[in-house]
Structure 1
Amino acid sequence: MSVSKKVSFIEDEHRDEDLRQSALNEVKPSKLQDIHERMMEHAVCRALKTVESEWGSPPAHFAFFVMGSAGRLEQSYYSDQDHGIVYDDDSNEFEDYFMRLGGEITSELKAAGYEECDGKVMASTKRWCKSRAAWQKQIDQWVKEDTWETLRYVLTLADARHFMGEADYIIELKERLQHHLKAKPDLLKRLTENTGRVKKGIGFFGQLLTEPKGIHQGKFDLKQTVLFPYVNGLRLLALKENIMATSTLERMKKLPAAYGHIKSHQLSFQELLTHRLSFQRGHKEYTGIHFVDVDRLSSSDKQRLKEWVREGHELYQYIENVLMKG
């Protein structure tokens, strides 16, 4: 490694460490997302530079996209990876290049503090790194197979957000999903069934229900119990109404006026995202970031959590009824 490259590498390390520290001290969700965007951009650019130095410039136009909490712009202090690549043309040579790029991006993101996805939803795998034509075929196959697993992939892709490269390529994927939703009226019902019931959060005596066993025993699952009723419900409605926005708040804002009852929850959900950071502040790693020690919460925080649980569950039930009726 040349002296100039060593200096550049050290500068990148210091810059990313400064960003990590800034992220851990941030209290506003929007500013935290801005920091995540910069950290991920640095990682993706480093990966691209590495692959270009070994394999040359990309052989075709491509797009890199993120999903999950990154796709929805709802990351907490720590986040895992959910991403993919779609590239132009369809040849083995191109596949090798972009699989190499996907692998390098995964490595760089991990080095930056983003854990690898347990479900392998990453551009380092062939399922999430394909040509435009192959992506179209894969979406068609997912819908045709209509299994719990393939419908889960469809729901995951629904949160895809363009991050780098050709934005139109991501729009094509979303349009393919919409094609199937219009062609198969029952598909939205199947996706609703696949999403499943929300996790119960309040017990018979009005107490917050904690994990009964496992490594998080005694902790409250903030993600599944409080956040996901909003997230999952608005994702399904966005699919129904052909809303391309990926964040839960933007999906609420873009709903037609007929959904006034749902749109009225925007401020409450925004407050939830802010309070989530106060609940999670101090965590040192991704593991356990979504589990809260209720014994350390104030009475007012417990009460507010219960209100969000009830509101989120009522909201999701309302959305589910709308979707299942067709």
Structure 2
Amino acid sequence: MKNSIAERVADFLQKHPPFLSLSMPDLIAISKECQVVYLEKNQVLFNVNDQPHSFFYIVKDGAVGLSISYDEKEILIDKCDEGDIIGLRPFFAKDNYLMDAMAREESLLYAIPIAVFKTYVFQNPEVSEFLLESFASNTRNPYDKENKGKLISENVVYNEQDAIIQYFKPISHTENPITANRKVTVKSIAEMMVKYKIGSVVIEENQLPIGIITDKDLRSKIATGMFAINDTADQIMSTPVITVPANRSVAEVQLLMMQHNIGHLCVTSDGTATSEIIGIISEHDVFTAQANNPGVLVKQTKRANTAVELQGIRENLTQLIQNALYENIPVGHICQIVGEINTAITKRAIELSILKMKEQPPVPFAWLNIGSQGRKEQLLLTDQDNALVFEDVAAERYDEVKKYFIELAENVTNVLNVVGYEFCPAEMMASNPLWCKSVTEWKEQYGTWIHSPGEKGILMCSIFFDYDFVYGDKTLVDAITEAIFKNIDNNQIFFAYLGGDAMKSPPPLGFFRQFLVEKDGEYKDSFDVKGRGLMPLIDAARLLCLNQKITGTNNTLVRFKELAALEPQNAAIYEACSEAFSVLQKFRTEEGFASNSSGRYLDLNKLSKLDKVKLKNAFQPIHEVQEILKTRFQLTYFT
């Protein structure tokens, strides 16, 4: 007896990808398991943070909107109508929905069980390719070039580049996995898992994988009494082992895990079970790869409710930076992404701190990141530098208002300290009354530094002249910026002092092109890549941009780019400075991760000959840009 309802559903499905790649018998089989979902106008299908449904949906009639909430406003991201797919997230991700889905008009949807449809995904390459490309590119139909939708994954992306490469980037694997032979007891296997804090042990023979035991096996086979704790590994191991070569993409790994209903893949030298074991990939690795997407980190930051949650996000950001360096993504691009996420973390720390105060700020204020944070060059977890400016108030209110903002700043800096940004040893923080001031006080402070640029003033210029607005009322910051440029206009003494300071660190090579290293102290014989390499470029870029009245640009790479556009005659030098800064920043960041330090000091003995050549080549632009400073600011006397 024919099932007319199933046939009608199948007739509809076959008109739309990816179902058009399936045969009619397959479509009818799928349709028999479908459910029809009716939504009234404004009825919710799912909300952000809801647990994933066991179905995904295709719109038959009507329209469903996908939206997010930002700053207490609903932002419509996409409108899905006939033939569009919604809710595929459970196919690829373990976390909850990242968007709200609500009917924009009376709508009819077909709910397709994910468990049923998975079988057809694995059997049909065209279907699996469609779903992977859709999820990776965040379009509900990657083949529709004229009417591309968005966000089949309900996943707001950070930018187009990240959207395209996210799920096709190689996934990292754990190297040198723990292995055992087939006659080791299950008890020994369990002890290995506890000792090394791992979820699997590969069973090998002649360095070839013949089986795998996971914590799931221990629960299902040992804890249930099916096998004894002293039985041997070959009695409970899962075999054959599903193997892959290195550098498989996140999407491919996810698909294999779903296809075989497993949580671990063994990485071998050629991807087969007849070659040497070189690594292991777990579901946790997949989850980490997903969590390290910049867009995901930004969204998680906005939803975080505690300092500890923000700490976890910053840890994922560290992993993102390390992966980006490994994949040779340009340092400028890394700085841009990391700077925005760091800013989002600081902004959320402020929002949480205001909630903790239980009182709204008494007057408008603005939070500033200064120094390397202000330049968006803080790739490592170095100390925090920040400041706060509040609106001018009557004298009788001043003490009360300042007391509020100092307490707020203390809360914010405490949150940031939990996140991993240590307190500044020199107390260059908004919690210090010296750096929590009214607009007028900040104008006077900058005026003092500019018109009396002694040694201390110049030191402050190198930190406080690199500021970035983070939160609050930007007009307060604009007023300070306007006052600064008014004070430095034609101020030759100020530029001469600032120029002299920028010349304190000449190119760090001796007469015979040997590296100039530290002569004594804790870092004797080490090379100071920050002080001798990065700071001369940072100082030069700042000075030249102040002189050219370039506003709104703090990042050193961007500053040199703008200078190159303004001064074509010096463009080659500025472009070389930008490249040199990228090279030096990468050296410092990699050293910081390798030694769990600020990365400031390099052990030259650990560098390859090629790395030493790269370092030396980065020093020539320092000499050239300092020659520009000498000429432009008549620095012969100061140097």
Q: Which TM-score bucket, shorter chain as reference?
A: 0.7 to 0.9
**Aligned match of 2:573 in 262, 266, 278?**
262
**Offset of residue 197 of structure 1:** 1.3
- Corresponding residue for residue 69 of structure 1: 372
Does 1:17 pair with 2:315? yes
- Corresponding residue for residue 296 of structure 1: 606
Does 1:319 pair with 2:620? no
Once residues 16 and 281 of structure 1 are traced to their aligned partners in structure 2, the CA distance between those partners, rounded to angstroms, is: 14
Does 1:132 pair with 2:439? yes
Once residues 470 and 414 of structure 2 are traced to their aligned partners in structure 1, the CA distance between those partners, rounded to angstroms, is: 17
8 Å CA contact retained: 1:33, 1:75:
no
SS at 1:56's partner residue? coil
Of 19-28 and 215-224, the range deviating more from structure 2: 19-28
**Aligned match of 1:215 in 494, 511, 522?**
522
More helix by share: 1
SS at 1:302's partner residue? helix
Once residues 269 and 43 of structure 1 are traced to their aligned partners in structure 2, the CA distance between those partners, rounded to angstroms, is: 26
SS at 1:42's partner residue? helix
Does 1:157 pair with 2:464? yes
**Aligned match of 2:595 in 260, 265, 283?**
283
Q: TM-score, normalised by structure 2?
A: 0.46
**Aligned match of 2:406 in 99, 106, 114?**
99
**Offset of residue 25 of structure 1:** 4.2
After superposition, the Cα gap between the structure-2 partners of 1:36 and 1:115, relative to the gap in structure 1 and judged at 3 Å, is: farther
**Offset of residue 292 of structure 1:** 0.7
**Offset of residue 212 of structure 1:** 1.4
Once residues 451 and 579 of structure 2 are traced to their aligned partners in structure 1, the CA distance between those partners, rounded to angstroms, is: 39
- Corresponding residue for residue 555 of structure 2: 247
Identical-residue share of aligned pairs (%)? 25
Query: For this pair of structures, how many residues does the alignment match?
Result: 318
Once residues 240 and 143 of structure 1 are traced to their aligned partners in structure 2, the CA distance between those partners, rounded to angstroms, is: 13
- Corresponding residue for residue 38 of structure 1: 341
- Corresponding residue for residue 534 of structure 2: 227
8 Å CA contact retained: 2:443, 2:484:
no
8 Å CA contact retained: 1:78, 1:113:
yes
**Aligned match of 1:111 in 410, 418, 421?**
418
Q: Structure 1: 5+ residue runs without aligned partners?
A: 1-6
8 Å CA contact retained: 2:385, 2:428:
yes
More strand by share: 2
Of 214-223 and 306-315, the range deviating more from structure 2: 306-315
SS at 2:431's partner residue? coil
Write out per-residue CA displacement over residues 152-185 of structure 1, whole angstroms, 9 at most, x where no aligned residue.
2233222111122222322222221211111533
Matched residue type, 2:315: E
- Corresponding residue for residue 87 of structure 1: 390
**Offset of residue 12 of structure 1:** 4.3
Once residues 408 and 346 of structure 2 are traced to their aligned partners in structure 1, the CA distance between those partners, rounded to angstroms, is: 12
Write out per-residue CA displacement over residues 202-261 of structure 1, whole angstroms, 9 at most, x where no aligned residue.
233322122111111121110111112211111100110011111112111222124324
Write out per-residue CA displacement over residues 262-321 of structure 1, whole angstroms, 9 at most, x where no aligned residue.
3332344334434443444313133xx211111011101101111112321332232233
Write out per-residue CA displacement over residues 104-133 of structure 1, whole angstroms, 9 at most, x where no aligned residue.
222222221112223322111122211111
8 Å CA contact retained: 1:16, 1:112:
yes
Of 197-206 and 115-124, the range deviating more from structure 2: 197-206
SS at 1:122's partner residue? coil
After superposition, the Cα gap between the structure-2 partners of 1:203 and 1:146, relative to the gap in structure 1 and judged at 3 Å, is: closer
Once residues 75 and 14 of structure 1 are traced to their aligned partners in structure 2, the CA distance between those partners, rounded to angstroms, is: 18
After superposition, the Cα gap between the structure-2 partners of 1:57 and 1:226, relative to the gap in structure 1 and judged at 3 Å, is: same
8 Å CA contact retained: 1:51, 1:100:
no
After superposition, the Cα gap between the structure-2 partners of 1:306 and 1:324, relative to the gap in structure 1 and judged at 3 Å, is: same
Once residues 78 and 152 of structure 1 are traced to their aligned partners in structure 2, the CA distance between those partners, rounded to angstroms, is: 22
Of 146-155 and 295-304, the range deviating more from structure 2: 146-155
After superposition, the Cα gap between the structure-2 partners of 1:160 and 1:8, relative to the gap in structure 1 and judged at 3 Å, is: closer
Q: Structure 2: 5+ residue runs without aligned partners?
A: 1-303
Once residues 216 and 325 of structure 1 are traced to their aligned partners in structure 2, the CA distance between those partners, rounded to angstroms, is: 31
SS at 1:201's partner residue? coil
8 Å CA contact retained: 2:583, 2:614:
no
Once residues 358 and 400 of structure 2 are traced to their aligned partners in structure 1, the CA distance between those partners, rounded to angstroms, is: 11
**Offset of residue 13 of structure 1:** 4.6
- Corresponding residue for residue 103 of structure 2: none
After superposition, the Cα gap between the structure-2 partners of 1:182 and 1:25, relative to the gap in structure 1 and judged at 3 Å, is: same
8 Å CA contact retained: 1:249, 1:269:
yes
- Corresponding residue for residue 307 of structure 1: 617
After superposition, the Cα gap between the structure-2 partners of 1:144 and 1:203, relative to the gap in structure 1 and judged at 3 Å, is: closer
Matched residue type, 1:311: P
Write out per-residue CA displacement over residues 14-38 of structure 1, whole angstroms, 9 at most, x where no aligned residue.
4343334434444143335523542
8 Å CA contact retained: 1:72, 1:161:
yes
Once residues 264 and 50 of structure 1 are traced to their aligned partners in structure 2, the CA distance between those partners, rounded to angstroms, is: 42
After superposition, the Cα gap between the structure-2 partners of 1:53 and 1:276, relative to the gap in structure 1 and judged at 3 Å, is: closer
Once residues 151 and 14 of structure 1 are traced to their aligned partners in structure 2, the CA distance between those partners, rounded to angstroms, is: 37
Once residues 16 and 228 of structure 1 are traced to their aligned partners in structure 2, the CA distance between those partners, rounded to angstroms, is: 26
Of 308-317 and 128-137, the range deviating more from structure 2: 308-317
Q: TM-score, normalised by structure 1?
A: 0.87
Once residues 423 and 335 of structure 2 are traced to their aligned partners in structure 1, the CA distance between those partners, rounded to angstroms, is: 20
Matched residue type, 2:376: L
Of 307-316 and 225-234, the range deviating more from structure 2: 307-316
SS at 2:595's partner residue? coil
Of 246-255 and 291-300, the range deviating more from structure 2: 246-255
8 Å CA contact retained: 1:52, 1:58:
no
Which has the higher relative contact order, 1 or 2, with Cα contacts under 8 A spaced 6 or more apart?
1
8 Å CA contact retained: 1:100, 1:124:
yes
SS at 2:366's partner residue? strand
Once residues 96 and 135 of structure 1 are traced to their aligned partners in structure 2, the CA distance between those partners, rounded to angstroms, is: 17
After superposition, the Cα gap between the structure-2 partners of 1:184 and 1:167, relative to the gap in structure 1 and judged at 3 Å, is: same
Alignment of 1:39-54 (within 5 A): 39-54=342-357
SS at 2:536's partner residue? helix
**Offset of residue 144 of structure 1:** 3.8
Matched residue type, 1:285: S
**Offset of residue 73 of structure 1:** 1.7
Larger Rg belongs to: 2
After superposition, the Cα gap between the structure-2 partners of 1:319 and 1:40, relative to the gap in structure 1 and judged at 3 Å, is: same
Does 1:273 pair with 2:571? no
- Corresponding residue for residue 189 of structure 1: 496
